[in-house]
Structure 1
Amino acid sequence: MMTAGPRTTNRSDLIASIAGRRPARNLHAQVMHRLGTAIVGGTYPEDSILPTDAELLQQLRVSRTVLREALKTLAAKGLIEARARVGTRILPRTRWNLFDADVLAWHFETGPSVDFLRSLSEVRIGIELESAALAAQRRSSAEAESLVEAARQMAEATSAEAFARADLAFHRLVAQAAGNPFMASISALVEVALTAMFTISSPVHDREQHAAAAQSHARIAAAIQSGDPDEAREAMRKVISDGFARAAERMGRS
């Protein structure tokens, strides 16, 4: 059976913690995480065949039941496919479910490329601009006030984690104020993207960037509060574009 010893905190756990989810720590989750990050990180390349069950059981030191359940979960996420007399094949990245929170978190844990971040930002623009515009048309007075408060908390954050939590709360509120259940469901992708970006670059340790980020969010809140969908769209576009630029610059220096 698996005797992994003390489990170190990984980016997936940190992302879950900031998002307010309890990180899973059972054997199934540990095996899934180990194999998932190995696949996303390229240890097992696309179209290659995973080691046999016997080899994986020896490496992971878990029961056959735990391994099979982990492999089933990875298959459901589009990462692998079992074939009779061939083995378990790593599927092409085009088959992976990038909207899955675990798959997205594993990309950030293993080191995403700038192109990956750009693609993610483009998807966010497609989702969040309209979410902000709808929020400007549909928000309640209480929701508008909560957005203003969330922006204020971002401005007053003294740690990267506190800023990330306030940032996440702000974008959740925008999705809620949009009043569209589909938009709120898709916003789960935004949650992982925001909290994962925290692991790459946070504006808190740069006074000018911190102030600019908080001000940009306050601009979104003001546009939504005043019922101006066009201004809300443009303000949200700036927030997403600036976040990508910070992350890309940080990765270029590393």
Structure 2
Amino acid sequence: MPGEHLYPSRGVHGTVVRALGVAIVSGRYPPGTTLPTEDQLVAELGVSRSALREGIRVLAGKGLVEPQTRRGTIVRPPDRWHLLDPDILVWRYESTTSAADFDDLTGLRMVLEPSAARMAAERSTPALIKPIEAALEEMRRTVDDTESFIEADLAFHSGIVAATDNNLLVHLNNMMGIALSAHRHVHTRSRTRHRKTIGEHRRILDAIRDHDPDQAELAMRELVERAHQDVLYYTGRARRSGAFTRRKDSDPGA
């Protein structure tokens, strides 16, 4: 599971890393600003100086901060962050997430998943398709249990990437899966939508089984875009224009 790569959240060091990491990624400490002094952070977080310094060292390794002599610890701009670092992905998507963040994630999905579906249709074998079939069956079984349904949905998409038999794509998908799992709190809770999306997923699976790469790619592209619009709709961020305009048939009551 991707979560195995996260920095341990238990213990003093983990508390420091998470607390300051979330504060930076959420914008509490904007890029270019200086973190509070060591004395202030020690008092605020209730940790020792050594624990604080270790936490800062970890955050510096993730590209979030840069300790500077006489200036203190400076928050670096987002383009210097290690954006595919598992912790940064979680911090970015598990709490307050902007529409731009969702667009970034959908953009990555649009690049990776339709191509993965195409490759799976071209290369997959019955053995590689089996986990995708099992995930779809689990989606059917858990359609009224949102948390379990989301787990099965994630497994379906991971199964497709695994069916490409490309280790680099699998690794990249694992990182993306961390973000998708972290923002599950804004996933639609509509059972009607869940039931409808099962058919959309089945369309992708059928295309992969039939070794139809064009159809597999198209069906996945439409599914990812629709999922993005659902997220924006359920978080009140639906746009009236742009690359990911919400469609009429993405309404939860449709």
Shift of residue 82, structure 1, vs aligned partner? 0.7
The alpha-carbon distance between structure 1 residues 22 and 51, as it changes in their structure 2 partners (threshold 3 A), is closer
Match for 1:171 among 157, 164, 169? 157
- 1:77 to 2:62 alignment: yes
Match for 1:183 among 140, 152, 169? 169
What residue is the counterpart of 1:242 in the other structure? 226
- 1:67 to 2:65 alignment: no
What residue is the counterpart of 2:28 in the other structure? 43
Gaps of 5+ in 2: 239-254
Match for 1:28 among 13, 18, 26? 13
Q: Which amino acid aligns with 1:235?
A: A
The residue correspondences of 1:95-174 to structure 2 (distance < 5 A) are 95-157=80-142, 158-174=144-160
What residue is the counterpart of 1:232 in the other structure? 216
- Post-superposition Cα deviations, 1:128-163, rounded to whole Å, max 9, x if no partner, equal 111111111222212212212211211221311101
Match for 1:211 among 177, 184, 195? 195
Question: Aligned equivalents of 1:29 and 1:139: distance in 2?
Answer: 41
How many residues align structurally? 237
Question: Aligned equivalents of 1:128 and 1:36: distance in 2?
Answer: 29
RMSD: 2.3
Question: Aligned equivalents of 1:147 and 1:22: distance in 2?
Answer: 30
Helix, strand or coil: the match of 1:182? Answer: helix
Report if the CA contact (8 A) 2:2-2:175 is conserved: no
Shift of residue 106, structure 1, vs aligned partner? 1.0
What residue is the counterpart of 1:5 in the other structure? none
Report if the CA contact (8 A) 1:216-1:235 is conserved: yes
Question: Aligned equivalents of 2:18 and 2:151: distance in 1?
Answer: 24
- TM (norm. structure 2) is 0.86
Question: Aligned equivalents of 1:248 and 1:23: distance in 2?
Answer: 31
The alpha-carbon distance between structure 1 residues 208 and 165, as it changes in their structure 2 partners (threshold 3 A), is same
Question: Aligned equivalents of 1:91 and 1:23: distance in 2?
Answer: 23
Report if the CA contact (8 A) 1:19-1:168 is conserved: no
- Post-superposition Cα deviations, 1:229-250, rounded to whole Å, max 9, x if no partner, equal 1111111112211111111001
What residue is the counterpart of 2:244 in the other structure? none
Sequence identity percentage: 34
Report if the CA contact (8 A) 2:63-2:81 is conserved: yes
Gaps of 5+ in 1: 1-15
Poorly superposed stretches of 4+, deviation over 6 Å: 16-23
Question: Aligned equivalents of 1:68 and 1:20: distance in 2?
Answer: 22
Question: Aligned equivalents of 2:205 and 2:232: distance in 1?
Answer: 26
- Post-superposition Cα deviations, 1:204-238, rounded to whole Å, max 9, x if no partner, equal x3232111222111111111111111111111112
Report if the CA contact (8 A) 1:18-1:161 is conserved: no
